[in-house]
Structure formats: C-alpha cells, structure tokens
Structure 1
C-alpha cells in the first residue's frame, strides 16, 4: 500500500464513511465496513481515528464543506444584493437535489447523536457548525458588498441555519416541483430584507 500523509488518509476515510453511511445508515456502518470502503486495513482506520465520535465530527464537517464550497462560489457579488443572495440559495438547492443521500445523512447523524449516550455533543457541534458557516458567509457579503446588517450576525446566522434546515427537509420530502422557484424567490426577498438595503457593487 502506498504511503499517504495522515491528513490525506483521514480525508479518504471520511469520504468513505460518508459513502457507507449514505448507503447503509449510520447505525449499521462499522469501522470495518468503512475501512473496506476506503480499501485500507482496520489498523489504518484506528491510526487515523481513535473513536467513532471523532470520525462522525469529521463526517459532519466534510459534508458541510461540500456544499459551502458550492455556495461560496455562487455568491460572488452580483449587481445587487438580492441577486447575490438568490444565487447562493439556488446553488444550495441544486446541491441538495443532486446529492439527496448526503443531506439525508445529516439528519440521521443528528438523530443518532441525540439518541446515543455520550454522542449528544456531536448534534450540538453540527448545528454550531451551520451557524458558524452562515456567520462567515454573512461577513463575506458585508465585506464585499459594503452594507450594514439589520440583524446582529449571531442571531441572523442562527436563524438562517434553522431556516435552511427546514428548506432542506422540505426538498427531500416533497422534491423539486413547480413551486420551487417561487419558494426560493420568497426566501430570497425575506433574507435580503434582513441582511440590508439593496446595494450595488462598489
């Protein structure tokens, strides 16, 4: 087996865990099945992750990073704040539609962590990460588009995380339909109003 840097091996195992958990469910996925999915020995897995808790946190962070990269690319400043916000929500919506299993896994991880003694902190960490993500996106928008937020960043970031949670579950349950564009337009108008006045790129 070719030698691989520890960080790269952890990334490989995390992606393998996401695939295995998406396919088999969190509770039914074992360290052995993850190692097999990644094509490594069980000893390599335990060298990289000393507990299932550490692995699950890595899974949560990696799934979030998957769609945040897409959203960040989409919200490069457009002519107006509304157009920029709308592009971000569309990119996220498209990612959920393209990777439903991965997003379903996030809900399963939450339930698993809340029901498994000693894992409760992972559910809290999951939602803290969502809030931190929105905090960064809001700060980036404020920096690049030069407006003042109408709602304090901590409150707005937490609200957006909760709202996106519901939006995701709705798409997973109801699917993409004729009302989808109108839903995104309504959310965009609401969020743009909370974020700040319509502004043109300096």
Structure 2
C-alpha cells in the first residue's frame, strides 16, 4: 500500500463511504466495509476519522460540495435575473438527475441521524449547511448584480432549500423529469418576484 497524504486518504474514504452507503444503506455500512471499499486497512480509517459521526459529517459536506460547484458555475450573471436563477436551479437538478443515489443517500443520512442518539446534530448541520450555502449564493448574486432582496437572504435561502428538497424527493419518488422542469420554472419565477432589481 503506497503512502498517501492524510487529506487524500480522507477523500478516498469519503468517496468509498458514499459508494458503500448508496449501495448498502447507511445502517448496514460499517467502518470495516468502508475501509474494504476504499482498499485500505481499518487502521487507516481510524487514523483519518475519529468516529463514524465524523465520517458521516464529511460525507454530507462532500455530497453538498459535489452539486454546489456546478451551481456556482451556472449562476454567473445571465441576461436577466430570472435566467440566472433558472441556470442555478437547473444545475442543481441536473446533478440530482445524474446522481439519484447520492441524493437518496442524503435523505437516508438525515433520517439515520435523527434516529440515532448522539447523531442528531448531523441532521441539523446538514440543513444549516444548505441554508448557509444558499444565503452565500444569494448575497453573492446581489453584490454582482446590485439587486435588493425583498425578504432577508437567510429566509429566502431556507425557502429555496425547502423547495429544492421537496423537488428532489418528488423527482426521486416519481421520476417525472418533465414535471420537475415545470416546477423549476415556477421556483425561478417566484424567486425573481422576491427581488427588487
């Protein structure tokens, strides 16, 4: 086994955990099975992560980072604010459609964290992270475009998180891409109506 930097080993274990949990479920995935999926010893896992909680927090952050990178790139200012919102929401949904297993895993992680004593803070962290990232994106758009939100950015961010959360679950259950795209248009229209350009 070649020696790799700790950060690289952590990334390797996080990606292995995502694959294993997507395939086998959160409750059935053990630290041993994650180490095996990553092709490393269990001692390497314990060197990189203090606990399963620490790993799960990193998994949540990693999955969020996967789609946020695409959203950030997509929301570069377009001709209109509506087009900018629509581009960002589409980038998010494109990630859902391309990676349904990852998004199903986020729901499973939420439920798992809420049901496991001592893990509840992971679910809170997950949703606080969504709100924080959406707030940051909205404020960044405001600075670059010079618009004023008609509701506070954190409130609009929570609304956007709730809308994308519901849309994601609806798509994962129904698989109706055309219907989801109509909802995306409605979300973009409503977001635009909450901004004073």
Instruction: Return the TM-score normalized by structure 2.
Output: 0.97
The answer to whether the 8 A contact 1:82-1:188 is kept is yes
Superposed CA RMSD in Å reads 1.0
Change in Cα spacing, 1:15 to 1:94, as seen in structure 2 (3 Å) is same
**Contact 1:97–1:176 (CA<8 Å) still a contact in 2?**
no
> Deviation of residue 146 (structure 1)?
1.1
What's the CA shift for 1:144?
A: 1.3
Matching residue of 2:101: 101
Measured in 2, the distance between the counterparts of 1:112 and 1:45 equals 21
Separation in 1 of the partners of 2:181 and 2:167? 12
Q: TM-score, normalised by structure 1?
A: 0.94
Q: Which residue of 2 aligns with 1:162?
A: 162
CA contact under 8 A between 2:163 and 2:187: conserved in structure 1? no
Distance 2:177 2:130 in 1: 26
- Please, which runs of 5 or more residues in structure 2 have no aligned partner? none
Give the 5 Å matches for 1:1-202: 1-194=1-194, 196-198=195-197
The answer on whether the counterparts of 2:167 and 2:180 sit within 8 Å (CA) in structure 1 is no
Between 180-189 and 112-121, the greater mean CA deviation after superposition:
180-189
Deviation at 1:20, TM superposition (A): 0.4
Tell whether the 8 Å contact from 1:20 to 1:34 is kept in structure 2 after alignment: yes
Given that residues 13 and 45 in structure 2 are in contact (C-alpha distance below 8 angstroms), is that contact kept between their aligned partners in structure 1? yes
CA distance in 2, matches of 1:49, 1:102: 21
User: For each residue in 1:95-131, what CA deviation from the matched residue of structure 2 results, as whole angstroms up to 9, or x when unmatched?
Assistant: 1011000000000000000000110111101100110
Distance 2:37 2:179 in 1: 39
Aligned residues: 197
In structure 2, relative to structure 1, the CA distance for the partners of 1:67 and 1:177 (3 Å cut) is closer
Q: Which has the higher contact order (CA 8 A, sep 6+)?
A: 1
